[in-house]
Amino acid sequence: MTLRSAARVLTTMLVVALSWTVSQASAAPPPASVPASAPAPAAHTAAVVLTYDASGAAEFVDAVDKGAAVWNGSVENVRLKPAASGDRASIEILADDGWPRARTTSLGNGTIWMGRQAVDEGHDTVRIAAHELGHILGLPDMKPGPCSSLMSGASAGVECTNAQPDAGERAAVEDNFASAGASPAVYEPRLYQDRPVAA
Protein backbone atom coordinates (compact mmCIF):
# COMPACT_ATOMS: atom_id res chain seq x y z
CA MET A 1 0.00 0.00 0.00
CA THR A 2 1.34 3.42 -0.91
CA LEU A 3 1.53 6.31 1.47
CA ARG A 4 -1.19 8.10 -0.47
CA SER A 5 -3.63 5.15 -0.29
CA ALA A 6 -2.89 4.66 3.44
CA ALA A 7 -3.72 8.33 4.05
CA ARG A 8 -7.01 7.90 2.11
CA VAL A 9 -7.96 4.86 4.24
CA LEU A 10 -7.22 6.73 7.49
CA THR A 11 -9.20 9.77 6.33
CA THR A 12 -12.19 7.59 5.41
CA MET A 13 -12.07 5.83 8.80
CA LEU A 14 -11.94 9.18 10.60
CA VAL A 15 -14.95 10.54 8.65
CA VAL A 16 -16.97 7.38 9.43
CA ALA A 17 -16.08 7.52 13.14
CA LEU A 18 -17.01 11.21 13.39
CA SER A 19 -20.32 10.78 11.58
CA TRP A 20 -21.19 7.84 13.87
CA THR A 21 -20.39 9.92 16.95
CA VAL A 22 -22.48 12.87 15.73
CA SER A 23 -25.45 10.62 14.89
CA GLN A 24 -25.28 9.00 18.35
CA ALA A 25 -25.20 12.39 20.06
CA SER A 26 -28.21 13.65 18.05
CA ALA A 27 -30.12 10.45 18.84
CA ALA A 28 -29.94 11.09 22.59
CA PRO A 29 -33.29 12.11 24.11
CA PRO A 30 -33.69 15.78 24.93
CA PRO A 31 -33.22 16.67 28.62
CA ALA A 32 -36.39 16.77 30.69
CA SER A 33 -37.70 20.28 31.19
CA VAL A 34 -37.84 21.62 34.72
CA PRO A 35 -40.98 23.55 35.63
CA ALA A 36 -40.29 27.20 36.45
CA SER A 37 -41.93 26.75 39.85
CA ALA A 38 -39.68 23.84 40.87
CA PRO A 39 -37.37 24.70 43.79
CA ALA A 40 -33.68 24.74 43.13
CA PRO A 41 -31.85 21.72 44.53
CA ALA A 42 -30.43 22.35 47.98
CA ALA A 43 -26.73 23.10 47.96
CA HIS A 44 -24.86 20.48 49.95
CA THR A 45 -21.99 21.85 51.93
CA ALA A 46 -19.37 19.69 53.51
CA ALA A 47 -19.06 19.64 57.28
CA VAL A 48 -16.20 21.46 58.99
CA VAL A 49 -13.73 18.76 60.03
CA LEU A 50 -11.97 19.20 63.36
CA THR A 51 -9.21 16.81 64.32
CA TYR A 52 -8.32 15.84 67.86
CA ASP A 53 -5.16 14.38 69.35
CA ALA A 54 -5.92 12.10 72.31
CA SER A 55 -2.40 10.68 72.53
CA GLY A 56 -1.97 12.47 75.88
CA ALA A 57 -5.37 11.42 77.24
CA ALA A 58 -3.97 8.29 78.95
CA GLU A 59 -6.79 6.08 80.26
CA PHE A 60 -9.44 8.42 78.80
CA VAL A 61 -8.78 7.76 75.08
CA ASP A 62 -11.81 5.48 74.74
CA ALA A 63 -14.06 8.01 76.52
CA VAL A 64 -12.78 10.78 74.22
CA ASP A 65 -13.53 8.70 71.11
CA LYS A 66 -17.03 8.00 72.44
CA GLY A 67 -17.57 11.66 73.27
CA ALA A 68 -16.55 12.62 69.72
CA ALA A 69 -18.92 9.95 68.37
CA VAL A 70 -21.75 11.51 70.39
CA TRP A 71 -21.26 14.81 68.59
CA ASN A 72 -20.79 13.17 65.19
CA GLY A 73 -24.13 11.42 65.67
CA SER A 74 -25.86 14.60 66.87
CA VAL A 75 -24.89 17.32 64.38
CA GLU A 76 -24.16 17.59 60.66
CA ASN A 77 -22.20 20.82 60.20
CA VAL A 78 -19.07 19.67 62.04
CA ARG A 79 -17.20 16.36 62.29
CA LEU A 80 -14.65 15.33 64.91
CA LYS A 81 -11.94 12.95 63.73
CA PRO A 82 -8.72 11.66 65.28
CA ALA A 83 -5.70 13.45 63.85
CA ALA A 84 -3.37 11.43 61.68
CA SER A 85 -0.03 10.65 63.26
CA GLY A 86 2.31 13.61 62.92
CA ASP A 87 -0.47 16.07 61.95
CA ARG A 88 -1.26 19.14 64.03
CA ALA A 89 -4.71 18.70 65.57
CA SER A 90 -7.41 21.32 66.11
CA ILE A 91 -7.98 19.94 69.62
CA GLU A 92 -5.38 18.56 72.02
CA ILE A 93 -6.72 16.29 74.77
CA LEU A 94 -4.68 15.61 77.90
CA ALA A 95 -5.17 13.77 81.20
CA ASP A 96 -4.28 15.26 84.57
CA ASP A 97 -5.19 14.98 88.24
CA GLY A 98 -7.28 18.18 88.43
CA TRP A 99 -10.85 18.97 87.40
CA PRO A 100 -11.92 18.61 83.76
CA ARG A 101 -11.55 21.85 81.82
CA ALA A 102 -11.28 23.25 78.34
CA ARG A 103 -9.32 26.20 77.01
CA THR A 104 -10.61 27.49 73.69
CA THR A 105 -8.34 29.49 71.40
CA SER A 106 -11.04 29.99 68.74
CA LEU A 107 -14.16 28.16 67.66
CA GLY A 108 -13.16 24.54 67.05
CA ASN A 109 -9.67 24.90 68.49
CA GLY A 110 -8.24 24.44 71.96
CA THR A 111 -7.10 22.09 74.70
CA ILE A 112 -9.13 19.76 76.91
CA TRP A 113 -7.95 18.27 80.19
CA MET A 114 -9.73 15.08 81.30
CA GLY A 115 -9.39 15.61 85.06
CA ARG A 116 -9.10 12.56 87.28
CA GLN A 117 -10.51 14.42 90.29
CA ALA A 118 -14.03 14.43 88.81
CA VAL A 119 -13.70 10.79 87.77
CA ASP A 120 -12.51 9.82 91.27
CA GLU A 121 -15.65 11.47 92.64
CA GLY A 122 -17.81 9.33 90.33
CA HIS A 123 -18.49 11.50 87.27
CA ASP A 124 -18.98 9.64 83.98
CA THR A 125 -15.96 9.84 81.63
CA VAL A 126 -17.94 9.87 78.36
CA ARG A 127 -20.17 12.68 79.68
CA ILE A 128 -17.04 14.61 80.69
CA ALA A 129 -15.48 14.15 77.22
CA ALA A 130 -18.66 15.14 75.34
CA HIS A 131 -19.16 18.13 77.67
CA GLU A 132 -15.61 19.42 77.19
CA LEU A 133 -15.85 18.93 73.42
CA GLY A 134 -19.06 21.00 73.62
CA HIS A 135 -16.97 23.92 74.90
CA ILE A 136 -14.61 23.59 71.92
CA LEU A 137 -17.69 23.59 69.66
CA GLY A 138 -18.73 26.94 71.14
CA LEU A 139 -21.08 26.01 74.01
CA PRO A 140 -20.90 27.65 77.45
CA ASP A 141 -21.64 25.94 80.76
CA MET A 142 -25.33 25.82 81.76
CA LYS A 143 -25.04 25.52 85.52
CA PRO A 144 -26.88 24.58 87.52
CA GLY A 145 -28.83 22.46 85.12
CA PRO A 146 -30.68 19.20 84.67
CA CYS A 147 -29.10 15.92 83.61
CA SER A 148 -30.82 16.26 80.23
CA SER A 149 -28.47 19.19 79.49
CA LEU A 150 -24.99 17.99 78.55
CA MET A 151 -23.58 21.42 79.32
CA SER A 152 -24.91 21.31 82.90
CA GLY A 153 -21.75 19.30 83.55
CA ALA A 154 -21.01 18.34 87.15
CA SER A 155 -23.98 20.35 88.47
CA ALA A 156 -26.28 17.48 87.41
CA GLY A 157 -24.59 15.21 89.99
CA VAL A 158 -22.48 12.07 89.81
CA GLU A 159 -25.53 9.91 89.10
CA CYS A 160 -26.00 11.67 85.74
CA THR A 161 -24.41 9.73 82.89
CA ASN A 162 -26.21 11.47 80.01
CA ALA A 163 -23.64 12.23 77.31
CA GLN A 164 -26.15 13.44 74.69
CA PRO A 165 -26.60 17.15 73.93
CA ASP A 166 -30.18 18.40 74.16
CA ALA A 167 -32.03 19.99 71.22
CA GLY A 168 -30.89 23.52 72.09
CA GLU A 169 -27.25 22.45 72.40
CA ARG A 170 -27.38 20.62 69.07
CA ALA A 171 -28.98 23.63 67.35
CA ALA A 172 -26.38 26.03 68.78
CA VAL A 173 -23.49 23.88 67.46
CA GLU A 174 -25.18 23.57 64.05
CA ASP A 175 -25.48 27.37 63.95
CA ASN A 176 -21.86 27.83 65.03
CA PHE A 177 -20.65 25.77 62.05
CA ALA A 178 -23.42 26.66 59.56
CA SER A 179 -21.05 28.14 56.98
CA ALA A 180 -19.05 25.02 56.34
CA GLY A 181 -16.11 25.53 54.07
CA ALA A 182 -15.70 29.11 55.24
CA SER A 183 -13.67 29.93 58.31
CA PRO A 184 -15.88 29.52 61.37
CA ALA A 185 -16.56 32.59 63.49
CA VAL A 186 -13.73 33.44 65.84
CA TYR A 187 -14.50 33.35 69.56
CA GLU A 188 -12.48 34.94 72.31
CA PRO A 189 -10.10 32.51 74.03
CA ARG A 190 -11.65 31.24 77.24
CA LEU A 191 -11.00 28.76 80.03
CA TYR A 192 -13.96 26.65 81.16
CA GLN A 193 -13.30 25.14 84.60
CA ASP A 194 -15.92 22.48 85.28
CA ARG A 195 -16.11 22.38 89.06
CA PRO A 196 -19.50 21.56 90.54
CA VAL A 197 -21.68 24.48 91.65
CA ALA A 198 -21.61 24.98 95.43
CA ALA A 199 -24.95 24.34 97.12
- Which residues, listed in sequence order, are joined to residue 144 by a DSSP beta bridge? none
Distant-in-sequence, close-in-space partners of 63: CB < 8 Å, separation ≥ 6: 57, 114, 125, 126, 128, 129
Is 174 assigned a catalytic role? Answer: no
Of 49, 48, 41, 43, nearest to 179 by C-alpha is 48
- Per the residue annotation, which of 59, 76, 92, 132 is the catalytic one? 132
CA distances to 66, 96, 97, 194 from 118, rounded to whole Å, are: 18, 11, 9, 9
Instruction: Tell me the catalytic residues.
Output: 132
